[in-house]
Chains A and B, each alone.
Chain A
Amino acid sequence: MNSNYYLRYERDERVKYVSHLDFVRVFGRAIRRAHIPVAYSEGFNPHPLLGFALPLSVGYTSECEIIEIALSEEIAPDELQERLNAVLPDGIKILSAHEGKSNMKKLDIAVYNVFPEKTPSGIAAFLSMKEILIDKKTKSGIKECDIRPDIKDIKVTLGKIEMTLSAGSRNNLKPEVVIAAMNKYMDGYESGECSYHRKQIYDIDMNVI
């Protein structure tokens, strides 16, 4: 029988350009270096049994990432955390380790901190729009779609925009799309280059995942 664990981890500035796919490999190799008895899939090309919550976009940092991992032997969560932190590249750090499965399947909402070059004013007017239409690239071409329902909240403080957005497999809205919409619809607003940081992920009732 395999034992299930999940880990919370952060990815800082130093690894923000690592794509999700590359990150999966980085993690797999860290597990090997730490000699963690990870369980492997069956088949011709066995791969370690890992599960990631919500892929992080290239260029983003985060303090709320979750990975699920199945081990063939039991290990104390603290030890798992310690052993992985000793071998992970700088910029990736396990914040806590837990036994069992996470609630990542219920993920519905994510909060992002966006740091623009210019702080916007008049966000209330933006949020009062009934529809916020943006062009979305799909396989069959460009489609216009309304992102307003997926914006739960936006708070602006000096130098920072905090966005609460739909996340997960059903509806997933990226903060850079919201920034594009703000540039489009807010009169005279130009955000400039922004940095993006994922702050927290929640289920539909705003319980932290």
Chain B
Amino acid sequence: MSTIKNPDALFRKVQKATHYCGGELNSVIKNPDEVQIRYAFAFPDTYEVGMSHLGMKILYHVLNQREDTYCERVFAPWLDMEEEMKKQDVPLFTNETLTPVKEFDFLGITLQYEMCYSNILNMLSLAKIPLLAKDRTEDDPFVNGGGPCAYNPEPLADFFDFFTMGEGEEVIGELMDAFKEWKKEGGTREDYLRKIARIEGIYVPSLYDVEYNEDGTIKSMTPNCPEAPKKVRKRIISDLDAVSYPDKFIVPFSDIVHDRSNIEVFRGCIRGCRFCQAGMIYRPVREKSADTLLKDACSLIESTGYEEMGLSSLSTSDYTQLEALTDKLLEVTEKEKVSLSLPSLRVDNFSLDLMERVQKVRKSGLTFAPEAGSQRMRDVINKNVSEEDLIKSATLAFEGGWNGVKLYFMIGLPYEECSDIAGIADLAHKVVDCFYESEKTNKRRGVNVTLSVASFVPKPHTPFQWARQDSMDELYEKQLFLKNEIRSRKVKYNYHQNDISVLEGVFARGDRKLSAVLLRAHELGCKLDGWNECFDLEKWKKAFSDCGIDMAFYTRERDYDEVLPWDFVDIGVSRDFMKNENEKAKQAATTPNCREKCSGCGAASLCKTKKGCVCFEQ
């Protein structure tokens, strides 16, 4: 193995060299000659985005705890770095030891959102690794994908050697053990892939054949070897108190998106919103104990010196020991001058007391997510919050000294009517009114209500996975309609680019045929699509038309009896549950949350221990 030659020649030429040169506090330094496995962990977006991601920190920690393995990081280079790498003929390399990624045993790529797919191809190409898995040889690493988008990996099937479904802490170790065995046995690449296909949670796309019907839908997907299971079941960590959590976070030199330490309060969400993929794929809810969290927090404060600590989960106010945790945490954080940040507050159990204790000094913005404007629509999506809840929480916040709130909504939801969209504006006006109607608010400063409106994207493994997605024109019309409904100057309206939403929807529910489109889009120069200055819809449109593929095929409504590209992935939640939820959505009927009443989704069967799991609470 060798490191790249003359790195200074590159670093001198780019704006943010510390994004590539390593050496940050708590980055892991090992002697590469003393390990048996080298694992390059890639985040297919820029450093400031990737370094903010918790999953990468966890797996970096878990892999580097093994003496036989050295895990290093790699990110998508920014435009200036890519240009220099091409000019100087330097292949993609890791931050820790500046070693070309091609020389590693594994290249693990985390799949957080669909719009990073073009970056994956670009990074493979910069690494000089063949883009197509079938073209790789003994000289190339195994390319492994994981994360939320792996739950429908089919659009990426041609580019990956295998995918990992679900939480990675345990399965990644099994993959490393299997690698050492395989090395000892001296087999071929295919031998390794067949070997790991037997591990629960592993999907090797080349071991499956897909047949299509005449209309382009899937006829069948069948394993072509005995090692490959018909269904791939996701992995979970049953006992979050027992699994190792990083005691150190790498502290970047430069500012990043979320520059703070984080403790992970629980996984999963009790709520069951029908549009939400995270709420389904991370089932069942498993909590960490307050004691473990306090221990995690203390280690991170000590090892990083971070000024801020985040509590992360899908809905932090649903944590059963929240009060005990914040009591103990605040004792520590106040002493160490660390501020706590609490994202994901719900409008129905918002505690002003908690917010005031957490944000002692600065009263910055508060965010609530009613998601839909009318009660009918909130029942359709099973959001289970009422207008009364929102007005009550907003009033509390305003009376507590806040004078701005941000409200998250979606448009383009299934079964949506004009009145539902108008309801978004109505609700915003009512929030403005409640500020002026209360006698205890500070009127001198006025009030700001910011509407952040995203376009709904149907996602695999949700009750809305069969739904039709609105076209760009329809979404545009709805955005305009909403804009005209807003009459108060206190309401600010932000909306999401709808062309990106449609493309995201196509890849979210795509099949293997889309690999060709990704390849073509890469040839046309698509990359860094999450960045406005880089995204170019025209190039994407050309890639689709060059491949003779119609985006509308992927945004259409699907029948219950159609074989969906992701049907082979078993997330532990039954298809009957999904179907039933979709039917209830049509009737605007709600489903109670997991803590109120179990709806028998099936996820309980994933747990090996009852401790901390919502399915077994009394």
The residues of A with any CB-CB pair to B shorter than 8 Å are 14-15, 17-19, 22-23, 25-26, 28-33, 40, 44-46, 58-59, 87, 89-91, 193, 195
Contact = CB atoms under 8 A, between A and B. Distances in A.
Contact of B25 (A45, A89, A195): A89
A114 to B, nearest CB: 14
Contacts of B616: none
Contacts of A91: 23
13 contacts: A17-B17, A17-B21, A18-B254, A19-B254, A22-B253, A26-B251, A28-B305, A31-B305, A32-B337, A33-B302, A44-B362, A59-B11, A193-B9
Given A17-B17, A18-B18, A89-B24, A26 B362 contact: no
Contacts of A15: 23, 253
Interface size class of B (residues with CB under 8 A): 20 to 34
The 8 closest A-B pairs by CB, nearest first: A29-B305, A17-B17, A32-B305, A33-B305, A89-B25, A18-B253, A22-B253, A14-B23
Contacts of B12: 59, 193
Interface in B1-40: 8-9, 11-12, 17-18, 21, 23-25
Interface in B126-163: none
A26 B253 contact: yes
Nearest to B336: A32
Contact of A29 (B11, B254, B304): B304
Contacts of A58: 17
Contacts of B304: 29, 33
Interface string B172-207: 000000000000000000000000000000000000
Contacts of B303: 33
Nearest to A47: B307
Given A17-B18, A19-B254, A26-B253, A89 B305 contact: no
Contacts of A22: 18, 253-255
Contacts of A25: 255
B361 interface: yes
Nearest to A194: B12
Given A17-B17, A89-B23, A193-B8, A30 B305 contact: yes
Contacts of B23: 14-15, 89-91
B17 A29 contact: no
Contacts of A46: 337
Interface string B349-378: 000000000000110000000000000000
A31 B306 CA distance: 11
A40 B303 CA distance: 21
Contacts of A87: 305
Given A22-B253, A29-B306, A29-B307, 9 more contacts: A15-B23, A19-B18, A29-B25, A32-B337, A33-B304, A33-B305, A58-B17, A91-B23, A195-B8
Contacts of B17: 17, 58
Nearest to A38: B337
B362 to A, nearest CB: 7
A138 B468 CA distance: 57
A59 B16 CA distance: 11
Contact of B361 (A17, A18, A44, A89): A44
